[in-house]
Structure 1
Amino acid sequence: MNGLKSILDSIDLPIKGSIADIRMALCKGRNAVVEAAPGAGKTTLIPLTLLDEPWLDGRRIIMLEPRRLAARAAAIRMAELIGEDVGATIGYRTRLDSSIGPSTRIEVVTEGILTRFLQSDQALEGIGLLIFDEFHERSINADLGLALSLESQSLLRDDIRILIMSATLDGEEVSALLGGAPVVKSMGKAYPVEVRYMSKTVGSGRAYTSTGPDFISRVAGAVWKALMEGTGSILVFLPGSGEIKRVAAALMEREIPADTVIIPLYGELSKEAQDQAIRPSPEGKRKVVLATSIAETSITIDGVRVVIDGGLKRVPRFSPSIGMSSLETVRVTKDSAEQRCGRAGRLGPGLCVRLWQETENSGLKDKSTPEIMEADLAPLALELSVWGAAPEKLNWLDPPPAGAMSQAKELLYHLGAIDKTGAATAHGRELARLALHPRLAHMVIKGRELGLGSIASSIAAFLTERDFVKTGLADRNQDIRHRLEVLSGDDSQGRVDIDRSALKRVRAAAAQIRRQLGIREKDEDSDKAGLLLAFAYPDRIAKRRGETEGRYLLANGRGALLPASALRQEYIVAASLDGGERESRVYLAAPLSLSDLEEYFKEDIEERDIVEWDQAQRCVSARRQKHFWELLLSDSQLQAPDTGKVLDAFINGVKLNGLNALPWERASQALRERVGFLNRISGETGKKFPDLSEGRLLADIKEWLGPWIDGMTRLEHLKKLDMKAIILSILTWEERETIERLAPMHIIVPSGSRIAIDYSGERPVLKVKLQELFGLDRTPAVAGHPVLLHLLSPAGRPVQVTNDLAGFWARSYQMVKKELKGRYPKHYWPDDPTQAEATKGVRRKK
């Protein structure tokens, strides 16, 4: 290129002092790492100075930038330096915008573009150098792109060079990943920056990340003070576009100087609006640029002397419980705070105002968590499947977490994108070709098959870009069909306040999807939006809970709340929701008909015959149910249920209610007690019988009770049972005879009475009137064990308890006799009970 060297020689940027080392590193080896301070000029100067390197041999340089704005700004700046228009030697390529020509040698691309290059040509023919700029941001696309590039370099292109550039990344760690690549450091040229902090604390816990009125007032106050005290433009860091608009409104309410222009800067703005923030202020004016973290790196905003750091940023966080990512407001990290502060010292001495106390610095994280550790890994898992490599076979700074990868693969398998081995299917390869999340790509392709491709493209674009319905109104209108009406231009009623820039982006994204898939734009039935969303989010199909308004159960089992919505249908699909602890709040949804659910998801609908115990009705319930995941679609009485299942359910009911639910009569209970007594003394008798304890009977209940309750379904049916016969059936004939011999039910006492023995306690008990034992000189026994005698008065009242009848006669009888004779004078009370005749009644037996 004529004159390129002389042009570059005339540029005075700090990185120039390190260019020779970078050239040497890439000449001698394949990889290198550049650590350069903000403002060193690495983004613009390094690619240009490497264009004529012999090893490049006329091939292209691909430089990755983390954001669309940074990619475009870098290309424009390099083109300006060499006096050309963008699209000639220098070009850029992003998802919705590109400027590339046949002679383009340097392409600045967003990080996802490199993955598309690699998937279409793993050898990257025609490319000689890959530059990963601002790699410290550690986006998931950058990590994936580097892992795939390293494998391509290892297996297919040993001549391709890889250069990693960053201001704050640990260069040695990256060097090790690149096989011990040399690290070139450039200190840059930074002017001193005075750092000021707040004098009092903001609060704690959630107060740190609150962006409410106090935060807006604090930021606006700091900006106003800086305007009053100094000169030069001001760069203000805020977490999102909502806060940017609110701070701008707050500043307009104050008496700011007339020479001040307030300019927003965030990713969704148009190119023209973004350029206005970057280029120098109009003559006689100074800017207040209200920016997100997009302004931390890669771009230079001319004229900035003051930085006001709100201390917050928004990062995507994936919630496995709802299967989606959402933006979370978090505190700035130390490395980001330093990057922001450095923006004030690019042109001369500057000022950085941090809206937190200096003592709070110790509570900040050193650096952001790599996105790969917290992100939805479904897109990455699909790319790896298409590439044909398991994650553990690639080189990563931080490998993707195994649990999140497993969940991602489960989703891809459900979408039909991979097979059981994890290999990409033809459908999965088609999904990967679209610059969409696999869920949305699947939805668009299914929509195309059903003749709903146009509306599916609109939904996918809308869910990928920012909502164009302004905040507040969006909260009151959760029906996504209203958004589709706006997209189609049917908003003649003016029902909503529209962000026209965001609307334009969504329409452009939808048009791009249609072009990729050869879909013609046409009017389609927006009432099918719910069906299309169901293809993308089957886990978020929801059914209303009974008649409770606004409360739904999601197919994944979570609860969901859809407050104050025009949606009243029984089934909906949630397109956007949060990850609330108890239930998710739904922000966008569409109705789904049961007929569509049953027609298009029949493979996921399971018909279950539910035979179970209904404790409330105290009977067996037999139902035929249709389930979609955790949702009950239909429930009807099951005719002729399986008898085995009925028996099992009835057995469970008996277990639940306990053995007391059975009609035990005294004889059956007594039999169990006799067996229990004999088992306790089995060591003495050598006889062991079946365990008839409550615990064992419950454990084996089906075995011994099952044959007797066949056909029963209600608890009241148990009244028909003969429990003694059932218990006897557990015993053999031999066991029954042994029980009768060792533990009889009765003992015949001297009076001739047949008295039942009580085996319910630890020892057998015989309750008998004292008079009926006259003439007996020893205690009756069973199985060699004396019974415990409960001696009773003629009226049946307790008199004495003993297991030594002879001792009672000898030591206690005379005293007892005296008392009983006084109470019962007509009864016979002999002086020597051992020689007397037993009697049942009042008179002595003749």
Structure 2
Amino acid sequence: MPHIDPTLPIADVMPDILASLGSHTRLVLEAPPGAGKTTQVPLALLDAAWLEGRQIVMLEPRRVAARAAASFMAKQLGEAPGDRVGYQIRFERKVSASTRILVVTEGLLARMIQEDPMLESVGAIVFDEFHERHLSADLGLALALDVQSGLREDLRIVLMSATLDGEALSTWLDAPRVSSAGRAYPVEIRHVDAQREEKLSQHIRRALADATANMAGDALVFLPGKRDIALTQAVLEQAMPEVDIRALHGDLPVEEQAALLSPSAHARRVVLATNVAESSVTLPGVRIVVDSGLAREPAFNSDTGFTHLETRRISQASADQRAGRAGRVAEGLALRLWPASQRLQSQRTPEILQADLAPLRLELAAWGSDDLRFVTAPPTAAMQNASALLRDLGALDRDQSLTARGRRLLELGLHPRMGAMVLSAQTPTERALACDLIALADARSPLLRPGDAFAERWQALAAFRARGFVDGAHAGALRALDRAAMQWRKRLRVDAGAPNVLPAHALGALLAQAYPDRIARASANDPYRYQLANGQTAKLSEYTQLLGEPWLVINELHYARPDARILSAAPVDEAYLREAFSAQFQEGDEVEWDEARAALVAARIKRFDRIVLSRAPGGQVDAERAQAALVDAVRRLGLAVLPWSDASRQWQARVQLLRKHLPALALPAMDDDSLVADLDDWLAPAFAGKTRLSALDTQALSNALRTRLDWSQQQALDMHAPKQMQVPSGLSRDIHYALDHEGEPEAPVLAVKLQELFGLGDTPTIADGRVSLTLHLLSPGGRPLQVTRDLRGFWDRTYPEVKKEMKGRYPKHPWPDDPWSATATHRAKPRGT
């Protein structure tokens, strides 16, 4: 292994890595920060016989990490990036015919596989820092596994990380696991609590002042986002003028990010970073880490279809990773700005559970299969919303197949919304404007004051291009936007320059193609409230600049109840909508739920998608339409409007209990959310011929619910989660089942008089012995004496005290000294005994 640095800890396990990949096609590698896995493993694999001269593709979560890793490996080989080691990131590519190791950002792998499913030039795919669980990495792994299992059995797949659960992942992947020691100096962990009403920037200043006074070296401060970095930078530059204060985040030009990876000429440097500095890259000289414990992560709301960044607490794995940055060059200090008593979740939540899944759904449609192995399965509701959006964009047809337009969207490599906007642009100038909008949609507002007029942001960008400065806007943000727009024009091969002026509704026309579900019309009763094409409602804020606009396209929205809040939007002309979205304008007879009458009514309705433009009284309620309208009413009002009986709720809880404890029975989900999702299947038939919700009685609802189980499942339910249980007295007593507020089954309860259980030693169980009943032991008068799931322990330890207390109160009932040998009974003692 001539290319490997023998002083790095990873060198000790390199023989195990090579041997494992020589005999297996998958590997899970655990190696802490500083072990050298990122730069040494690909180099060590170059000469592997199984590689047969093909490429090694290594995925990195961020551009700066990809560029740094490739540059470091190339330097080890005495070459420049682009020779045997190359990289490809957004807007930059250094690759040649001799490139054997290709470092790419995670999102590029899916494109490579879609374009060449055989991956004939690739011998191994290495997923670095897989613990970050980005959506693009999860998708890339699922596609790579599908290729490996069906097309390329010789393809090697390696998952590397410092903090992943290697044992669980190696079991899921059916792969060997190799663990490496790290090389880190001791790091002291201290918690620095915030003072009352102390701002985060001041909290950091106070923590840094103490740390830098007692320890040499640079400091790395982890903050959630760019705004927090800017505020903290301003405070520190005033408080610490002798220190070089630098920012590091993903929106910085790659050159500026890379410059921070080189030693500083200043005596001391403080780098304010997002989690871009958490893994893969090493900042030289850092001995102090200040961790806010926060990160900005994407969150998708399946009710509204909107994705936004949320500031959240990091996981314990991330906190450990961040602290480790202080011990790379010498003994270090990590200051955590949260109480020591606060507990963090062990691992970060996979992005697939909280992100917009439209890009994923488009990729799966192009692949031709949803049946892929994901480490974490994509949520059903989010995938359904993604499919609906892609149908709105024309990317999927009604049977979920990819359309020709969908194929073009995929080839663009943009988010489907942005791709649809680019495809709709008719002229070179419109396409150049679309590039501006892509850059603006992907960044925070450059304006220093709040404002919801999206046109103001574009006008500031246009003014910056003309004059080089704009009052009331952040020059650095505008410069970055201009640079991003130029890069998009280059990537999309747009020859025209950016326009200087625009017609009044030009922005809205383009944005409508990207956000057809967010086209909105002002309410006739409240000019601040808008109805969206997807059925949601939203309100303008008090500082709005859009009041009076009849139609808007909303590109930013903050979800809240009862109305979402419009953060950014552009006016759109109704005449344009009628031409471009003619199919969405419809008129016809519909059946609606009238809450005031608690009944269905017929109406003649004109609408744009789900926006009602006008309504007039109709004739009689059509029976066929009534069935669907009643189901929609339940979907909107919730399951509570149905005539639930205690028996139906008990039945629901019984099914959920067996789903949890006997999954092999494959019972369908019966929680409220799942029932709502499947209303058309189980509830709609029960509404046949009905025009009112009240026409459905408790028995009809019970029958409808039971249609979700076939005969064998019903038999299994009665066997393993019975409604009653016979007790030693010979009588049958009810078992009470219930669900908690999250739809999870609670422990079932058997309430029975204590005397009826004499002689019974073991707590009764159900679900094939997997669930012990919670016993509510009652007095002869029916009052609770004891709650237990340990009947034997009750007889041995508690019964003597209960007998002493109850014998005088209920002298006509048996209270034997030995409950084990006594006869169970529900009666009082015979007269005279």
Q: Does 1:115 align with 2:94?
A: no
2:341 alignment partner, SS class: helix
Q: Does 1:354 align with 2:333?
A: no
Q: Kindly provide the amino acid, as one letter, of the partner of residue 268 in structure 1.
A: D
Instruction: Name the structure 2 match of 1:218.
Output: 203
Contact 1:454 1:514 in 2 (8 A): no
Query: 323, 339, 350: which is aligned to 2:305?
Result: 323
Instruction: Supply the distance in 1 between the matched residues of 2:157 and 2:435 (Cα, whole angstroms).
Output: 36
Q: Does 1:8 align with 2:4?
A: yes
Instruction: Supply the distance in 1 between the matched residues of 2:77 and 2:217 (Cα, whole angstroms).
Output: 29
Give the deviation of 1:626 after TM superposition.
2.0
Give the deviation of 1:417 after TM superposition.
1.1
Q: Does 1:600 align with 2:589?
A: no
Q: Give me the TM-score of the superposition, normalised by structure 1.
A: 0.69
Instruction: Supply the distance in 1 between the matched residues of 2:592 and 2:368 (Cα, whole angstroms).
Output: 47
Instruction: Name the structure 1 match of 2:606.
Output: 626
Contact 2:601 2:621 in 1 (8 A): no
Contact 2:602 2:620 in 1 (8 A): no
Give the 5 Å matches for 1:358-377.
358-360=340-342, 363-377=343-357
Instruction: Name the structure 2 match of 1:23.
Output: 18
Instruction: Name the structure 2 match of 1:228.
Output: 213
Instruction: Name the structure 1 match of 2:285.
Output: 303
Give the deviation of 1:172 after TM superposition.
2.1
Query: 373, 390, 396: which is aligned to 1:412?
Result: 390
Instruction: Supply the distance in 2 between the matched residues of 1:409 and 1:613 (Cα, whole angstroms).
Output: 27
Contact 1:453 1:519 in 2 (8 A): no
Q: Percent identity?
A: 41
Q: Does 1:580 align with 2:557?
A: no
Q: Does 1:249 align with 2:244?
A: no
Q: CA RMSD in A?
A: 3.0
Instruction: Supply the distance in 2 between the matched residues of 1:313 and 1:444 (Cα, whole angstroms).
Output: 32
Give the deviation of 1:410 after TM superposition.
1.8
Give the deviation of 1:82 after TM superposition.
2.1
Give the deviation of 1:20 after TM superposition.
0.8
Residue 423 and residue 514 in structure 1: after superposition, are their counterparts in 2 closer, same or farther (change >3 A)? Answer: farther
Query: 531, 534, 541: which is aligned to 1:553?
Result: 531
Q: Does 1:571 align with 2:554?
A: no
Q: Kindly provide the amino acid, as one letter, of the partner of residue 228 in structure 1.
A: A
Q: Please list every run of 5 or more consecutive structure 2 residues that lacks an aligned counterpart in the other structure.
A: 627-690, 693-833
Q: Kindly provide the amino acid, as one letter, of the partner of residue 411 in structure 1.
A: L
Q: Deviations over 1:263-300 (max 9, x none)?
A: 11110011232123221121x51111111111111000
Instruction: Name the structure 1 match of 2:71.
Output: 76
1:86 alignment partner, SS class: coil
Instruction: Supply the distance in 2 between the matched residues of 1:97 and 1:244 (Cα, whole angstroms).
Output: 26
Residue 621 and residue 379 in structure 1: after superposition, are their counterparts in 2 closer, same or farther (change >3 A)? Answer: closer
Residue 165 and residue 487 in structure 1: after superposition, are their counterparts in 2 closer, same or farther (change >3 A)? Answer: farther
Instruction: Supply the distance in 1 between the matched residues of 2:479 and 2:359 (Cα, whole angstroms).
Output: 25
Residue 630 and residue 17 in structure 1: after superposition, are their counterparts in 2 closer, same or farther (change >3 A)? Answer: same
Q: Does 1:444 align with 2:444?
A: no
Instruction: Supply the distance in 1 between the matched residues of 2:504 and 2:21 (Cα, whole angstroms).
Output: 56
Q: Does 1:150 align with 2:145?
A: yes
Residue 519 and residue 628 in structure 1: after superposition, are their counterparts in 2 closer, same or farther (change >3 A)? Answer: farther
Q: Kindly provide the amino acid, as one letter, of the partner of residue 404 in structure 2.
A: A
2:531 alignment partner, SS class: strand
Q: Does 1:531 align with 2:525?
A: no
Q: Kindly provide the amino acid, as one letter, of the partner of residue 190 in structure 1.
A: A
Q: Does 1:190 align with 2:169?
A: no
Give the 5 Å matches for 1:217-296.
217-254=202-239, 256=240, 258=242, 260-282=243-265, 285-296=267-278
Give the deviation of 1:202 after TM superposition.
6.8
Instruction: Supply the distance in 1 between the matched residues of 2:463 and 2:41 (Cα, whole angstroms).
Output: 45
Q: Deviations over 1:595-628 (max 9, x none)?
A: 1122211111121357999999xxx999854211
Contact 2:429 2:496 in 1 (8 A): no
Query: 57, 61, 75: which is aligned to 1:62?
Result: 57
Q: Kindly provide the amino acid, as one letter, of the partner of residue 97 in structure 1.
A: E
Q: Deviations over 1:38-91 (max 9, x none)?
A: 110100111111111121121111100111111111112212222222122211
Instruction: Supply the distance in 1 between the matched residues of 2:333 and 2:36 (Cα, whole angstroms).
Output: 22
Give the 5 Å matches for 1:810-821.
none
Instruction: Supply the distance in 2 between the matched residues of 1:614 and 1:312 (Cα, whole angstroms).
Output: 46
Residue 490 and residue 23 in structure 1: after superposition, are their counterparts in 2 closer, same or farther (change >3 A)? Answer: closer
Give the deviation of 1:561 after TM superposition.
2.3
Residue 514 and residue 194 in structure 1: after superposition, are their counterparts in 2 closer, same or farther (change >3 A)? Answer: closer
Instruction: Supply the distance in 1 between the matched residues of 2:130 and 2:85 (Cα, whole angstroms).
Output: 21
Contact 1:202 1:356 in 2 (8 A): no
Give the deviation of 1:629 after TM superposition.
2.7
Instruction: Supply the distance in 1 between the matched residues of 2:164 and 2:45 (Cα, whole angstroms).
Output: 22
Give the deviation of 1:553 after TM superposition.
2.3
Instruction: Name the structure 2 match of 1:479.
Output: 454
Q: Kindly provide the amino acid, as one letter, of the partner of residue 500 in structure 1.
A: G
Give the deviation of 1:513 after TM superposition.
5.3
2:421 alignment partner, SS class: helix
Contact 2:10 2:40 in 1 (8 A): yes
Q: Please list every run of 5 or more consecutive structure 1 residues that lacks an aligned counterpart in the other structure.
A: 204-211, 650-697, 700-846
Instruction: Name the structure 2 match of 1:181.
Output: 175
Contact 2:297 2:309 in 1 (8 A): yes
2:492 alignment partner, SS class: helix
Q: Kindly provide the amino acid, as one letter, of the partner of residue 492 in structure 2.
A: Q
Contact 2:521 2:530 in 1 (8 A): yes
Q: Deviations over 1:422-462 (max 9, x none)?
A: 22111111111122111221121122489833322321232
Instruction: Name the structure 1 match of 2:653.
Output: none
Instruction: Supply the distance in 1 between the matched residues of 2:389 and 2:344 (Cα, whole angstroms).
Output: 35
Higher radius of gyration, 1 or 2: 1
Give the deviation of 1:521 after TM superposition.
4.1
2:270 alignment partner, SS class: strand
Q: Kindly provide the amino acid, as one letter, of the partner of residue 187 in structure 2.
A: V
Q: Kindly provide the amino acid, as one letter, of the partner of residue 574 in structure 2.
A: L
1:358 alignment partner, SS class: coil
Which deviates more from structure 2 when the two are superposed, residues 273-282 or residues 15-24?
A: 273-282
Instruction: Name the structure 2 match of 1:516.
Output: 492
Instruction: Supply the distance in 2 between the matched residues of 1:88 and 1:377 (Cα, whole angstroms).
Output: 36
Q: Give me the TM-score of the superposition, normalised by structure 2.
A: 0.70
Which deviates more from structure 2 when the two are superposed, residues 371-380 or residues 513-522?
A: 513-522
Contact 2:552 2:569 in 1 (8 A): yes
Give the deviation of 1:367 after TM superposition.
0.9
Q: Kindly provide the amino acid, as one letter, of the partner of residue 342 in structure 1.
A: G
Residue 372 and residue 622 in structure 1: after superposition, are their counterparts in 2 closer, same or farther (change >3 A)? Answer: closer
Contact 2:118 2:152 in 1 (8 A): yes
Instruction: Supply the distance in 2 between the matched residues of 1:643 and 1:172 (Cα, whole angstroms).
Output: 64
Contact 2:8 2:35 in 1 (8 A): yes
Give the deviation of 1:348 after TM superposition.
1.5
Give the deviation of 1:594 after TM superposition.
1.3
Contact 2:505 2:573 in 1 (8 A): no
Instruction: Supply the distance in 2 between the matched residues of 1:420 and 1:610 (Cα, whole angstroms).
Output: 22
Q: Does 1:423 align with 2:401?
A: yes
Q: Deviations over 1:359-379 (max 9, x none)?
A: 11xx31111111111111111
Instruction: Supply the distance in 2 between the matched residues of 1:450 and 1:615 (Cα, whole angstroms).
Output: 51
Q: Kindly provide the amino acid, as one letter, of the partner of residue 576 in structure 2.
A: D
Q: Deviations over 1:569-593 (max 9, x none)?
A: 1111111111122222222111011
Instruction: Supply the distance in 1 between the matched residues of 2:591 and 2:26 (Cα, whole angstroms).
Output: 66
Q: Kindly provide the amino acid, as one letter, of the partner of residue 86 in structure 2.
A: G
Q: Kindly provide the amino acid, as one letter, of the partner of residue 281 in structure 2.
A: I
Contact 1:222 1:308 in 2 (8 A): yes
